[in-house]
Amino acid sequence: MLNTFVMPDLYPAAPEIFLLLMSFVVLFADLIFGATQRRLAGRLTLMTLLGCAAITLFTTDGQASLTFSNMFVDDLLADLLKLLTYLAVAVTLIYGRQYLGDRKLDKGEFYLLVLYATLGMMVMISAASFLTLYLGLELMSLSLYALVAIDRDSPRATEAAMKYFVLGAMASGLLLYGMSMIYGATGTLEIGGIAQALLQGQTDKTILIFGLVFIVAGIAFKLGVVPFHMWIPDVYHGAPTAVTLFIGSAPKLAAYAMALRLLVYGLFSLAKEWQTMLLIMAVLSIGLGNLAAIAQTNIKRMLAYSAISHMGFMLLGLMAGVVGAEFDPFTAINAYSSALYYTVAYVLMSLGSFGMILLLSRAGYEAENLDDFKGLNQRSPWFAAIMLVFMLSMAGIPFFIGFFAKFAVLLAAVKAGHTVVAVVAVLFSLVGAFYYLRVVKLMYFDEPVDAAPISAPFDMKALLSINGIAVAAFGLFPDRIMAICTTVLLRSL
């Protein structure tokens, strides 16, 4: 057996393979032509993402196909999350192009690191084994650490990268430790196999719970929820805004996949245990994130704390899938899809609001303080309205996507019997409304301090406008995305 090599079916992993190949193309193209054609690497990266999207779309067959000895899975959920990841990454690149160009950061390395981080996310999304998941996670994380530090001359960025790296490495360690416990108890690394082993119920529960705690801690770190949130504000603040935008969007999708694959696919038999852990973390995140965001004067930090609270909301949906002892698949699917919908909504809003910061920044000037938004309505009524949409959507005011995301999660939580938790969550979103409204106040009620005209490339302005309109339009008609989320989960679980 040992010396027979079985060629794995490469077809399910076609997008990953394509991306890897293209990364070499980008590397060499940048090496050879980079000096004369500065925008080549960026264009090639966008084309790569487009190619990946095409491959993912054309290889979708609605079946879950396992490959690489059951370590890699290509199911509908993976396809959906990958498509969203490509979209988020592409939007990030377009929003960030001018910002990076102004700061001479748009070198080939940047695009390569983005591509590898994307590859890491894709592997995470498609992971069917603990090992694959860990591989993807590390590929993504290491690329992100480097990206945070890409502006080497900025002490703040370097400090943020250092913090991110140390804490991130520790979290990976925790995760790995937890995985080894589960492996010890069940004797397998395959997520499906673990679920089987747990169902038979012959494993030592103490070890399992012990491992579970570490796994949940690892997930919590990647999502950035309390009490594993410490890195978020520093990294969001310290990284160049284009990188913050990147960290704040696509990896959330991958982290959702990771949580779902590990907890729901793998450790579902321990749901009662992890449900309680998630509940506590969710409530703490919603509370602390919203309270701490009030005190911020830097909008990147403010959005960082708001990210913590949003991820808390997402966890609320994720934990609402299991109701006590009895298990109802429809309730569960609804809850997981509410969390998925929340993540998608959050990614859209996060892209837009960091995009706005990039829009207002220019060469030698970072528009990252709240005061930089003062009087935006007088400088550009259109973009003030777009930012209004993002902020109110994040606050959960209706007719924007954020409201229905919150609604779906609250519905799932109340259905799972957590009415009190829902009340606490909405009370904290009232606190949240305050700081989002403050941004609106700055834009509309105050006089501008910075009168420079807004200059940005056309494609960025157009995309930002589309982003804003999407947040509003999916708020008016949220049914389509919700239906997609539910269908995909129904057919992948």
Partner 1 sequence: MNSYLLSLAIWVPVLGALPVLALGSGRRNMVRWLALAVALAGFAVTLPLYIGFDVHQTGMQYVEQLPWIPRFNLQYMLGVDGISMPFVILNSFITVIVVIAGWDVIEEKQAQYMGAFLIMSGLVNGIFSALDGILFYVFFEASLIPMYIIIGVWGGPNRVYAAIKFFLYTLLGSLLMLVAMIWLFLEAGGSASILDWYRLPIGLTAQILLFIAFMLSFAVKVPMWPVHTWLPDAHVEAPTGGSVVLAAIALKQGAYGFLRFSLPILPDASHYLAPMVITLSLIAVVYIGFVALAQADMKKLVAYSSISHMGFVTLGFFIFNPLGMEGALVQMISHGFVAGAMFLCIGVMYDRMHSRQIADYGGVVNTMPKFAAFFMLFAMANSGLPATSGFVGEFMVVLGAVKFNFWIGFAAATTLILGAAYTLWMYKRVVFGAVANDHVAKLTDINAREFLFLAVLAICVLAMGLYPLPVTEVMHASVDNLLKHVAVSKLP
Task: Give me the residues that bind partner 1 (CB under 8 A), please.
Answer: 377, 381, 388, 392, 397-399, 403-404, 407-408, 410-411, 414-415, 419, 422-423, 426-427, 429-430, 433-434, 437-438, 440-441, 444-445, 477-479, 482-483, 486
Q: Which is nearer to partner 1, 458 or 477 (CB)?
A: 477
Rounded to a whole number of angstroms, the minimum distance from the CB of residue 443 to partner 1 is 10
Question: Do the beta carbons of residue 234 and residue 273 sit within 8 Å?
Answer: no
In contact, 109 and 27? CB cutoff 8 Å: no
Smallest gap, in angstroms, from Cβ of residue 345 to partner 1? 14
Provide the minimum distance between the beta carbon of 187 and partner 1 in the complex, in angstroms, as a whole number: 41
**Shortest Cβ distance from residue 445 to partner 1 (Å)?**
4
Angstrom distance (rounded) from CA 253 to CA 472: 21
Q: Nearest 10 degrees: CA dihedral of 199, 201, 205, 210?
A: -30
d(CA 297, CA 374): 13
d(CA 309, CA 271): 23
Count of positions (residues) in the chain: 493
Which residue number, 147 or 314, has a Cβ lying nearer to partner 1?
Answer: 314
Smallest distance, partner 1 to C-beta of residue 303, A: 20
Considering the complex, what minimum distance in angstroms separates the CB of residue 69 from partner 1?
38
**Phi/psi zone of residue 48: left (φ > 0), alpha (ψ -120 to 50 degrees), beta?**
alpha
Q: How far is the CB of 455 from partner 1 (least distance, A)?
A: 20
Pairing of strands 65-67, 72-74: antiparallel
Minimum CB distance to partner 1 smaller for 55 or for 484: 484
Quick one: 55 or 426, whose CB is closer to partner 1?
Answer: 426
Question: How far apart (Å, rounded) are the C-alpha atoms in residues 469 and 376?
Answer: 18
Name the residue type at position 80.
Answer: L
d(CA 237, CA 104): 19
Phi, psi for residue 428 in degrees, rounded to 5: -75, -25
Q: Are 81 and 139 in contact (CB under 8 A)?
A: no
**By C-beta, is 57 or 483 nearer to partner 1?**
483
Shortest CB 301 distance to partner 1, Å: 21
Among residues 240 and 478, whose Cβ is nearest to partner 1? 478
Taking the least distance from each CB to partner 1, the nearer of 144 and 376 is: 376
Closest approach, Cβ 125 to partner 1, in A, equals 24
Output 173 or 398, the one with its CB closest to partner 1.
Answer: 398
Which lies closer to partner 1 via its Cβ, residue 177 or residue 399?
A: 399
Encode 270-327 in three state secondary structure.
HHHHHHHHHHHHHHHHHHHHHHHHHCCCEHHHHHHHHHHHHHHHHHHHHHCCCCCCCC
Residue type, 360: L
Which one, 162 or 431, has the nearer CB to partner 1? 431
| Shortest Cβ 223–partner 1 spacing (Å) | 24
Q: In whole angstroms, how far apart are CA 404 and each of 234, 313, 387, 409, 422?
A: 30, 12, 19, 8, 15
For the stretch 62-77, what's the b/e string if a residue is b when 16 or more beta carbons lie within 10 angstroms of its beta carbon? eebebbbebbbbbbbb
- Output 210 or 382, the one with its CB closest to partner 1: 382
The contacts of residue 220 (CB under 8 Å, 6+ apart) are 227, 228, 281
Q: Check whether the bond before 227 is cis (ω within 30° of 0).
A: yes
Give whole-number Cα distances, 306 to 1, 240, 241, 431, 433, in Å.
Answer: 53, 18, 16, 11, 11
One-letter identity of residue 453: P
Yes or no: say if 133 and 261 are a contact pair by the CB < 8 Å rule.
yes
* Smallest gap from residue 339 Cβ to partner 1 (A): 15
